[in-house]
Structure 1
Amino acid sequence: MTRQRILITGASSGLGAGMARAFAAKGRDLALCARRVDRLDELKAELTGRYPNIRVAVAALDVNDHEQVPKVFAQLADELGGIDRIIVNAGIGKGARLGSGKVWANKATIETNLVAALVQVETALEMFTEAGSGHLVLISSVLGNKGVPGVKAAYAASKAGVSSLGESLRGEYASGPIKVTVIEPGYIESEMTAKSNSTMLMVDNETGVRQMVNAIERETGRAIVPGWPWIPLVALLRLLPPRFTKPFA
């Protein structure tokens, strides 16, 4: 099935902008939202200039403003005449070692990556139920598979929650009409991973996004991307005692 009208949150940079470019190249219509509307406007101009036959609608959205999520989703759906796929991508990577006194950083990570994701999920399911079909995509992380000590502890917990939501929904909608996909990226070049210490495991944005989009298009239930080396690394990560998982973060 071709999902022609695709909504992406957190689309102003990184993986969100990369997916927008990849789907635009496939001729899809896009609904893009993020906090930085100036970047969205630049991305819209780029995509419509390169692919004049597609439609691109943009809107400012802070996903932590929960009341605005259904309003903005509805506004974008009206502009495109409906939405066939929603990619819950908006997230942050800040965090601090638990107990370091920087509760604000860890709280922000949990609120943005998990609580706001839940609000987007609820909104998407309501829209798709009314429409009779749809494809919900949750962008999680390979770190959602295991707790990690240090500054990524809250981030890993937030992504574990996202993956769990996706697993629950796959069971809920096993017979349709809504399809659910969870994407667990490894380290892909973006603003979020710019300060990562795991540069040896990093792939460029274009390569990583291409594999993400391929998995999304297949509507796979769960996909670890890039498959190499992350599929075997995730299997190893699950077996390691927690004190040995820090290098993966």
Structure 2
Amino acid sequence: MGHGLQRMNRSRRGKLPVVITEGRIRPVVPIVAAKFAIECNIVVRNHVPVLKHWKEYKNQLGLFELFKGKLSAKFDINTSDAAVEKACSQMMKNALRQQRYRLKKKYFDPFPLHMVRKTSPIKSVSDKQWNDLVEYWKDPKRMEASEKCKESRSKVKFHQTTGSRSYMVHVEILGDKYIDQELDALDLFKECHYSKKKKGYTSTVQLAITQMENKLSTPVEGEQPMSTTQAVANVLAENAKKNKFLQNVGIQNAQPRSSA
């Protein structure tokens, strides 16, 4: 509901400043990043209609201006800056994707097609927009693609255990925890995949950690000793096609897309 941000603004006697650097979509400071992400989701949930696809929002520029305006009312943020505008666009896109997923999971998936409601379940979506969304979900090709996505998600081996925190924010918090210690790729992998609820690692994560440690302890004859980053990268590559863990924690740079 945003009460936490209101208390922070009152205690500061001003709006919470949000600074987003080039290439990021959230502020670096963990508490600011958390409040920024929460407010983005609140704005989308209460004020932005959920359309079928992100491309449709390009024809309705007023919705993005509305989104930025709501954030400006809550934070001290320069929405005219190119980096900030790009970050706001990505945050809005992520929030809309989550909102669309929640609506589909609650009001569409549990029911037979002929029993799906005809009226919108939320105020920010009109009945016409809701029916367009339902028809989009009913499309056979879309339903087939949805099943394939579910199957792909079930094959994910390394689920993060950082909750609503992004990897980068979690790494920043770990920096306060390990003040006198520099964490390497293996340490970060362990920290980001340790489950506090289960008080340990899943069997898949534990197997990957063992493989990483074995690569470091048993170097190949005639070759240079493998670095920790290389060991982690090799094991992740063996278990997943496009694992971006090292990029997300800031160890590896994202490779530019080919235009070929």
Computing the radius of gyration from Cα coordinates, the structure with the larger value is 2
Q: Which structure shows the higher helix fraction?
A: 2
Q: TM-score, normalised by structure 1?
A: 0.25
Normalising by structure 2, we get a TM-score of: 0.24
More strand as a share of residues: 1
